Structure 1
Amino acid sequence: MDIKVIKTEQQHQEYLKEIHSLMLEMPPIHSKAHEDLELLITIVEAYENSKYPIELPDPIDAILFRMHEKGLKQVDLVPYLGTRSRVSEILARKRPLTVSMIKALSIGLGISTDTLVGINAVNEHSSDDHIDWSKFPVKEMINRGWLPDIVDRTKKNTEEIIKSFIDQVGWQASSSVSFKRTLSGDAYSPATKYALFAWVSRVVQQARKRKNALGIFNPDVLSASFMRDLAQLSWFEKGPLLAIEFLEKHGIAIVIEPCLKGTRIDGAALKDVDGLPIIGLSLRYDRLDNFWFTLLHEVAHIWKHIDSNEIFLDDIDSNTDDRQESEANRLAREAFIPRSTWKRSQAYSSPSKEAIDSLSRELKITPAIIAGRIRRESGNYRIFNDLIGQGEVKALLVPAFDN
């Protein structure tokens, strides 16, 4: 038989019949018939793979199948995906899997990363049609001066204006994805994702303007000691300014940008395409306790969690059981008040202004941090209002960043 590359379905069927006949004969190894059989099988497999490719299973279907196979409930996925609400959103296909989630599921449930990435996940963002450009807060962005090209008559519509804005950051996709970054964190919600992308894009643009004034970033310098040194800058009257100077000296860009309407974001942590670590602060609450805890929380993300794609967007008021958010909270708390010190302090057992002042002097940190922790842990936000530094942050930072 003259064996050639298959070009027609008729030829394919003829080769299948020949394979069947040869297999019935069971030709000896190294015989001409056995070699023909191997060649026919190889050619038929190549033809079938090209004409009838087997698609990877849908990532969510694969997760649901493994859950059924192992008898798992949604709550059992919390260690891999974060919070219960996040698990529900992902299984309902309302939220994408992040790189860290894919890694965790692959290791924990034994699902291949190829399956979890999924061909459908790629196809989902195969064109710009999946981006609803009208959902960007264009009017607010114009009012803030983010879109100076709005007066350029060559810009024909909203889509082109926003694309130009996002393109400055380099996150709009080529042909394969809608946006090149994954938003995560407690401040993220599908309803506000466009406003959040706009806000983060602005933060990155502003960070790049500060880049030449930054020191060289060395990730090895980040440590518990580094966090503690940063926390103790809160002891000084101009502590917020000193903290920003300290971080930028170590190559971490800090940007102050008020959050857009409808979003609940205190801070963000990410890395630019060139690896520049960036922290964005909204100063949503103009209080010292919120500023300091948010800042150290974001530094903890830079230290422990940031990869090249993920962006952490944080609502510090949120109660979370996400592993990475919980770790960032713990590292920030420990930098200000070590657990052993907190548990034995009068500020913990019998809160009072005197106890707060005493612990503040012992640890060389602002009393606002201690007062804020007592308020949060007790759930009583009516106490110690005069100690949390209300109105003291913007007065220091906004003039400095406006210059």
Structure 2
Amino acid sequence: MALDPEAGSEDGERLALLSLLIEDYEKRAFQFEPLDPIEIIEFRMSEQGLRQKDLVPMLGSRSRVSEVLSGKRPLTVQMIRALSGGLGIPADALVGRDVEAAASDAERNVDDIDWKRFPYREMERRGWFSAARIYGETAEEMLRSFLGNIVPERQAPVMFRRRFRGDNLDEKAYYSTLAWSARVLMRAKDLEAEVPKFDPAKISAETLRDLARLSWFENGPRLAIEFLAKLGIIVVVEPRLPNALIDGAAMLSEQGKPVIGMTLRIDRTDYFWFTLLHEVAHVWKHLNSSDESFIDRIERIASVEKVEQKENEANRVARDAFIRRAVWERSSARLAPTRQNIQELADKLHIHPSIVAGRIQFESGHYELFREFMEQGTVRQYFSECSFA
């Protein structure tokens, strides 16, 4: 593990095999009784000196808090998200049973959906609702219809089964994220017929390096989207909604095609490329179910001490796609960072110099260094069809 072997190499395959063997042994040799989610919540409340009223912002009302803590009301996926973010409890600890069962609760308890929390006015301003709206239609009816455009064969609330992984979302961020991801899937739906079937076997570490090298070209962002489309991966650029600090997302459409959403929240060359490669890594390594999405705020993943293992892996895969660890460790750009050394390494690897400069900034913690390479405000111009407020 200390050698951090490259995925697909002989050592990498050996490490993967050993990991599976150890996991199998642990499952057979040790049995752990799952903790009761309510006991976990009460322990954290006691630890933080919280009372029932302090959970109201997370669960919605005093009566709902009381029902949850007394065991009269089951935790829904939505509640788990809110409590996980608000109390700092791992979401898996709050499930307490199979994830699909928890998802079912979310679908059954449609009354838990607070339609007023959607950024309805902003969605309407952007023209997300059908032009053929019915006169007198309420905001809730329009929102249900909007979500139903993604899964017309089922009830719109099925969208609430989708689990957002990667970033902890509070209630406001959750509803904005749900609406944004639905919009991304809706736009992807219009492109699905033009994109070939996705074949995971066509993705490899070398594929990601080929993608990274497109950053060398002036119109690289557009070339990257065309490159991924040929592999069966749809990329949609959609500006974020209020309350949701999203950079990128990876999800599957209802037809099972990988969809990457990008907000271009930070309009900077290195930020675009790292976010894109991070999401492609999720598609390659982690995306298996249309019931979940990976939602990412890149600088948060890089700055917090404990993040989900899959986020760490996506970061590592993205970094290695641009600059392999062995190359970086002995490079002059790292050992003696100067403008010339940064440019020379970028030229050698055929990647944009902002990616090299960004790595130096991150590892040194000095974000004022080499800003001249960053090309702030240059990516959105390639997506003039999007309205960035």
TM superposition score category, shorter chain reference:
0.7 to 0.9
- Structure 1 residue 303 and structure 2 residue 284: aligned? yes
Give the 5 Å matches for 1:167-186: 167-170=148-151, 174=155, 179-186=160-167
Matched, 1:228 2:209: yes
2:119 corresponding residue in structure 1: 137
Question: Rg bigger for which structure?
Answer: 1
State the shift of 1:94 in Å: 7.8
Q: In the alignment, which residue of structure 1 is the partner of 2:252?
A: 271
**Alpha-carbon offset, residue 137 of structure 1:** 0.2
1:118-163 CA distance string (max 9 Å, x none)? 96774465232100000000000011111135852152x1111100
Change in Cα spacing, 1:134 to 1:60, as seen in structure 2 (3 Å) is farther
Cα distance between partner residues in 1 of 2:285 and 2:250: 11
- SS of 2:232's partner is coil
8 Å contact 2:239–2:387 — kept in the other structure? Answer: no
Query: Aligned equivalents of 2:166 and 2:330: distance in 1?
Result: 32
CA distance in 2, matches of 1:178, 1:236: 38
Q: Give the superposition deviation at 1:174.
A: 4.8
**SS of the residue aligned with 1:165?**
helix
Instruction: Give the Cα separation in 2 of the matches to 1:63 and 1:237.
Output: 54
Shift of 1:91: 10
TM-score by structure 1 length?
A: 0.70
Distance in 1 between residues matched to 2:167 and 2:285, nearest whole Å: 17
Q: Give matches, 1:89-238, under 5 Å.
A: 89=84, 97=92, 115-117=97-99, 122-123=104-105, 125-149=107-131, 151-153=133-135, 155=137, 157-170=138-151, 174=155, 179-186=160-167, 188-238=169-219
Secondary structure at the counterpart of residue 263 of structure 1: coil
Distance change (3 Å), C-alpha of 1:90 and 1:295: closer
The CA distance in 1 between the partners of 2:345 and 2:152, in whole Å, is 46
Task: Tell me which amino acid in the other structure corresponds to 1:373.
Answer: R
Instruction: Tell me by how many angstroms 1:215 deviates.
Output: 2.7
Instruction: Give the RMSD, CA atoms, in angstroms.
Output: 3.4
Whether the aligned pair in 2 keeps the contact of 1:215 and 1:249 (CA below 8 Å) is yes
How far the C-alpha of 1:349 sits from its partner, in A, is 1.4
Q: Do residues 350 (structure 1) and 336 (structure 2) align?
A: yes
> Distance in 2 between the 1:94 and 1:265 partners?
21
Gaps of 5+ in 2: 1-32, 48-80
Q: Name stretches of at least 5 consecutive residues in structure 1 with no aligned partner.
A: 1-57, 74-85, 103-110
Q: In structure 2, how many angstroms separate the alpha carbons of the residues matched to 1:316 and 1:93? A: 19
Partner of 2:231: 250
Counterparts of 2:340 and 2:334 in 1: how far apart (Å)?
12
Alpha-carbon spacing, 1:121–1:338, altered in 2? closer, same or farther (3 Å) = closer
The residue type equivalent to 2:84 in the other structure is E
Q: CA deviation at 1:238?
A: 1.1
3-state SS of the aligned residue for 1:284?
coil
Q: 2:313 is matched with which residue: 327, 348, 351?
A: 327
Shift of 1:209: 1.1
Q: Verify the 8 A CA contact 2:270 2:355 in the aligned structure 1.
A: yes
Distance change in 2, residues 1:357/1:63 (3 Å)? farther
CA contact (8 A) 1:215 1:250 kept: yes
Q: Which letter does structure 1 place at the counterpart of 2:268? A: R
Per-residue CA distance 1:5-59 (angstroms, 9 max, x = gap): xxxxxxxxxxxxxxxxxxxxxxxxxxxxxxxxxxxxxxxxxxxxxxxxxxxxx97
Question: How far apart, CA to CA, are the structure 2 residues paired with 1:130 and 1:160?
Answer: 16
Instruction: Pick closer, same or farther for the CA change 1:118–1:370 going to 2, 3 Å.
Output: closer
Contact 1:345 1:359 in 2 (8 A): yes
**What residue number does 1:22 align with?**
none
TM-score of the pair, normalised by structure 2: 0.72
Contact 1:126 1:178 in 2 (8 A): no
The SS at the match of 1:183 is strand
| Residue 177 (structure 1) shift | 6.2
The equivalent position to 2:262 in structure 1, one of 281, 287, 292, is 281
Report % sequence identity: 41
The structure-2 alpha-carbon separation of the partners of 1:162 and 1:88, relative to structure 1 and needing over 3 Å to count, comes to closer
Structure 1 175/135 Cα, relative in aligned 2: closer, same or farther at 3 Å?
Answer: closer
Is it true that 1:262 corresponds to 2:226 in the alignment? no
CA distance in 2, matches of 1:333, 1:314: 16
**Structure 1 pair 274/314, CA: closer, same or farther in 2 (3 Å)?**
same
- 2:383 aligned partner: 397
Structure 2 match to 1:61: 36
The answer on whether the counterparts of 1:342 and 1:348 sit within 8 Å (CA) in structure 2 is: yes
Give the letter for the 2:181 counterpart.
V
Shift of 1:227: 0.5
Q: 8 Å contact 1:122–1:176 — kept in the other structure? A: no
Q: Pick from 347, 364, 371 the counterpart of residue 361 of structure 1.
A: 347
Mapped to 2, the partners of 1:238 and 1:202 lie a distance apart of: 25
Distance 1:236 1:187, change over 3 A: farther
